[in-house]
Structure 1
């Protein structure tokens, strides 16, 4: 009996990036075709016809929103999605990390320190408090 490999989303059971794209499309009234047009990497060289093109295709965006299997996006695609959705890059990165890698982005209360913590959402309150204490200790060591 053969085993079927699970997609990253099935392994994490999370769809943070899918949900972010769905929600922003609804907020902005965007079609898949329009979002495709907007998803150009803001750091692409305008003279380079390949990188200055939209990095997301309509079908891939639709598959993402409908929670179908897609390849995990690379960094230029995350930048392009951030541009297309009009949300901070860190928000897109956090959602992708959660969905495809099961990594939670944890911010300090003042929003100045960020940590990537596998399984943070499943931790109890005591363990989450320990993560925040480590973040504060790191800030103190760094002199902030």
Structure 2
């Protein structure tokens, strides 16, 4: 592996690997689940080998938008989360996220909510913040 290959980003591969662990998926299971919901007739758009290369940090060709849609469906993640990880890995678009990608997924889910959903999520956040404030002040 060249120095260039070892220094490149692995955001998408890391996201895929983490989510596979969360779902208990192997490479074959994920490959079979990677079907673009907009074109299910096309069948799976990822192979086990390509997914293996991706998750092991090996160089692969940048995925198409359809492949990213299929990967998001297979991983049960918002498309935006997968697209942002791909943009970071393949285009160098760097955003700051936490190590295990929870923030990336949360932001993508927020972007899919309507105004009512965002208001509900804000209520939940306020409850959590109040509880933590009580805990830190020793009231709980």
Say yes or no: TM over 0.5: yes
Within-5 A mapping of 1:32-111: 32-44=27-39, 46=41, 51=42, 53-105=43-95
Within-5 A mapping of 1:19-38: 19-38=14-33
Deviation of the 1:5 alpha carbon: 9.8
Query: TM-score if structure 2 supplies the norm length?
Result: 0.63
Deviation of the 1:104 alpha carbon: 2.9
Query: TM-score if structure 1 supplies the norm length?
Result: 0.62
Q: Which has the higher helix share?
A: 2
Gaps in structure 1 of 5+ consecutive residues: 113-144
CA spacing shift, 1:5–1:15, aligned 2, 3 Å = closer
Report the aligned-residue RMSD: 2.4
Gaps in structure 2 of 5+ consecutive residues: 97-103, 112-140
Secondary structure of the 2:61 match is: coil
Paired residues in the alignment total: 99
